[in-house]
Structure 1
Amino acid sequence: MSLTNNTPEPQVQSLFKRIAGNYDRMNNLISLGTHKHWRKVAMAKLAVKPGSFVLDLCCGTGDWTIALAKAVGPSGQVVGLDFSKDMLAVAKKKIAAAGLNDRVTLVQGDAMDLPYDNDHFDVVTIGFGLRNVPDANQVLREMHRVVRPGGQVASLETSQPTQPVVKLGWKVYFKLIPMMTKLAVHNYQDYVYLERTAAEFVNAKKLAEMYANAGFKQINYQTFDMGAAAFHSARKSYTEK
């Protein structure tokens, strides 16, 4: 399993610029709508408190950012960070429509080199972004750096089924994804890339080990749909200053 994404960053930037307008539609199609359930479970397990200061990395079109903003309430703040200005433009419209401009700030930035001080946020999340960054381990280290001692981090990400029959079935399904997108939005090659990053990313157990290597404690994870996706959560030790 690959821990790094070797596709040049400008190419990835260009890809997300092309797919931004159809990203939500295709997410619903590819996951058969189950990503909404995954996020609901993640939010329940995170139990974000009102008034919290949250960073949502690789926020894309803002779905998890919006859920977090509702959880922190009027007294809290959420920063949504993404490297694609086109994805952020979609997120901006959705956040405004949800009436959450008072508690959300959108920032174009690099998840591997965050423009924030150490021990800055109460909660840091990343949804379906680890597999698309050049170095997932570096992103986890940055998450560890900017979350406060005792603070919580979490990720939602595609994963790898471990049961052989299920694993074979998911491989077949992932191979169909580019064809589905070609029929739906006439965009084949971009989703070949996204299919590849999903198929090559690590399984849930390995990702938990990566969390540990980044310095996190109290690491827990839950898989969804026979291993198709996984939610991980962890904390930064109170003893780290």
Structure 2
Amino acid sequence: MTLSPKNTDVKSLFNTIAPEYDKMNNIISLGSHKKWRQKVMDKMIFPEKAQIIDLATGTADWAIALAENSDSDSEIIGLDFSESMLAVGQTKVDISDYSEKITLEQGDVMDLEFPDNSFDIVTIGFGLRNLPDPKQGIKEMYRILKPGGQLVILETSQPDSPLVKPFWQLYFGHVMPLFGRVFAKGKYQEYKYLDETTEHFMDYMTLGRLLLKSGFKKVRISRFNLGAAAAHYATK
């Protein structure tokens, strides 16, 4: 059992919400998550024949987008601990144009079964906050990256503006869980948990400092939607 910082069995939670996950992502983010991801990839450098891994890949949206943006000889692994999320993702991969480039695997981000210096690019989107120990996860990301390789983290964040923050807290604290009840077959508690992980996760500057302390270089940060999400780019 993998417990979150809120002592929630997150694997079971994501297995439960997998059937509605893509629909709810679009509803909750008002479609913004796709735009954020594309903006992030526009700033990435894709070497030829890149070895890429998308951690906490969920239903494989980012894995498929990485395949679309990389050359035909690149290989993408999408890794997640939820078999139900991966099953949804595999269906999407199978009907995509990139099924030969993408492999989905079940695994633990905090204990990756890959040799040191294996990947040119490591990505994780909206998954770092769900790890029981984000520091250990980042340590593993550093280990599997090749020297000079890129780490890209896209994660929910908290706005700074005192004018914006109350509306942000209202939306994530009350509206988002209500959406879970209305649109996701009554899954209020599951989406309440996702709100809590967003609200209590480290802020974007703390995450940037953690990357530097973990050995990463050239850490850059981009923020979206008045701070509702942040992208961190770093090099090993």
* TM-score of the two chains, using structure 2 as the length reference: 0.95
CA distance in structure 2 between the aligned counterparts of 1:49 and 1:97, rounded to whole angstroms? 26
Do the aligned residues in 1 keep the contact of 2:120 with 2:149 (CA within 8 Å)? Answer: yes
CA distance in structure 2 between the aligned counterparts of 1:34 and 1:50, rounded to whole angstroms? 29
CA distance in structure 2 between the aligned counterparts of 1:97 and 1:198, rounded to whole angstroms? 32
Give the aligned partner of residue 56 of structure 1. 54
Identity %: 44
Report which stretch shifted further, 130-139 or 160-169: 160-169
TM superposition shift of 1:99: 2.5
**AA at the equivalent of 2:193:** Y
2:186 aligned with 1:183: no
2:196 aligned with 1:192: no
Corresponding residue to 1:165 among 163, 166, 169? 163
Give the aligned partner of residue 226 of structure 2. 226
Do the aligned residues in 2 keep the contact of 1:54 with 1:124 (CA within 8 Å)? Answer: yes
Deviations along 1:94-122, one digit per CA (max 9) or x if unpaired, are: 01111212111111000001101111100
**AA at the equivalent of 2:68:** K
Do the aligned residues in 1 keep the contact of 2:4 with 2:10 (CA within 8 Å)? Answer: no
SS at match of 2:164: helix
Deviations along 1:35-85, one digit per CA (max 9) or x if unpaired, are: 111000011011323421001000000010001111223211001000001
Give the aligned partner of residue 136 of structure 1. 134
Deviations along 1:201-225, one digit per CA (max 9) or x if unpaired, are: 1111111011111110000010100
CA distance in structure 2 between the aligned counterparts of 1:199 and 1:66, rounded to whole angstroms? 28
* TM-score of the two chains, using structure 1 as the length reference: 0.93
Do the aligned residues in 2 keep the contact of 1:49 with 1:71 (CA within 8 Å)? Answer: no
> Mapping of 1:28-107 within 5 angstroms?
28-107=26-105
Give the aligned partner of residue 205 of structure 1. 205
2:163 aligned with 1:155: no
Give the aligned partner of residue 239 of structure 1. none
Structure 2 residues not aligned, in runs of 5+: none
CA distance in structure 2 between the aligned counterparts of 1:150 and 1:39, rounded to whole angstroms? 22
> Mapping of 1:14-33 within 5 angstroms?
14-33=12-31
SS at match of 1:173: helix
CA distance in structure 2 between the aligned counterparts of 1:50 and 1:24, rounded to whole angstroms? 30
Do the aligned residues in 2 keep the contact of 1:120 with 1:148 (CA within 8 Å)? Answer: yes
Deviations along 1:5-39, one digit per CA (max 9) or x if unpaired, are: 42446x11111011001000000000000011100
Structure 1 residues not aligned, in runs of 5+: 237-241
